Chains A and B, each alone.
Chain A
Amino acid sequence: MSSSTPNHRTPLFDTHVAAGARMVDFGGWDMPVNYGSQIEEHHAVRRDAGMFDVSHMLIADVTGARVRDYLRYVLANDVAKLKVPGKALYSCMLNDHGGVVDDLIVYFLNDQWFRVVVNAGTRDKDIAWLQRFAPQFGVTIRPRTELAMIAVQGPNARAKASTLLGAHAAAALQLKPFTGAELGKYFVARTGYTGEDGWEIMLPVADVAAFWTALQRAGVAQCGLGARDTLRLEAGMNLYGNDMDENVSPLESGLTWTIAFDPLERDFIGRAALDSQRAAGVPRKLVGLILEERGVLRGHQKVVAAGAGDGELTSGTFSPTLERSIGFARVPAGTGEQVQVDIRGKLLPARVVKYPFVRNGKALV
């Protein structure tokens, strides 16, 4: 980046540097991409327990008597589905054209208090967007920059991390998937971005370095953004900015399942655009690809779908679990089961598959 302003750092920056992490720019943040072998970090999460510094993501509390009405208007998924305090929902936030402003997790804490977690690279834009519609619903948006966040993920992650929670361990271990709770100074949620069991733990910035070190002592491997990307891709999870953005519809991004079209009378930002797109027919779709020969799928490679037209890879990588290359591609709706990908001028065969590719340590394709 040629920006003259220095990059942001999380409260764990010094910890990462001291651990020998390779630091890279990620959306204006200096973040660890790996601490050694990215593939070993990936396997640690699939087989045991790994942790990620996700303090660059923004936590914001949304409060007010009409907070539910507000979120039912600004989010494309419907927070009316959240009936039990602590329950979480994944949603897109759309613009008027039905493009994706960001994707986020929203937690229902009580009737006047919801919490959202948004991406690092879009945080300023997201807050401005959320603020824009706040006055008409009388809600307050409060960024919680005094909180840091660590994701602990993997089949043994909860057991290992629970040893640090003292009297709150039992309550934390009882949390059901996609549910969170405030436990003393911690907010613990059974969510993540890896396709494995685990928690995302929010805690005061002042405590996070000690907590990270204690997790390491408890046998949780430190993992960087490199492993985070291969894990989320295997798990079939979209990455904002790669797989969708403001100029593309969630219906063409594999996110139709996150749009609550029912009830019909609910008006949400972007609804009219999506309704017309559905009526006219959605021209493209996001599919999973597995490369059938050696090589590596990468974002922006051209996809040739015989008889249907051309498409483009939105994400691609080498899957450490499958030991072959996988990716997502946006292709014409009529694309069949076999395509070709242009890799440095050679057309290589790839198979269209349903994702996720991997869940809970097991290959699904």
Chain B
Amino acid sequence: MNTGRIFGFFAALAALVSTPAMAQREQAVELSGDVMVVKTVTEEGAEPREELVKPDLVVPGDRLVFRTNYRNTSADLVENFVVTNPLHSAVALAPDTPSSQQVSVDGGNTFGTLSELTVTEEDGTSRPAMAYDVTHLRWVLSSLEPGASGQISFYAIVR
């Protein structure tokens, strides 16, 4: 009987924290991501064009595009679909990122567009946030129909 009660206790605790075992069985959303290096190819007699190549050769200053594909593989409607992408410290968000992009400059605590955010310097003064201050990016979709898919992407520069 003692054993049974302990089991029950753990089950309740697990349910309180999260339900990872259940969720693992039914992944409604499938994700796949990649990163490519954006190379500007200049050929004689042609406009310079961008080309995406595998990140085999990546050095500081290179421009990268991070892409995440998502798909609702279930038969259910997915709601409040929120994608959060922490930026690695070795890359900085590209300055030409669309101004409507939701970002965070404080480790993901608060989000907003870059122009709404400020950074507090060590000496206590405040300044407008810059692209290189960004620590997280976020995208919000209110719903994702069964079978629906899409891609989110952003550009970053290797520091």
- The reply to whether chain A is a binding partner of chain B is no
A residues lining the B interface (CB < 8 Å): none
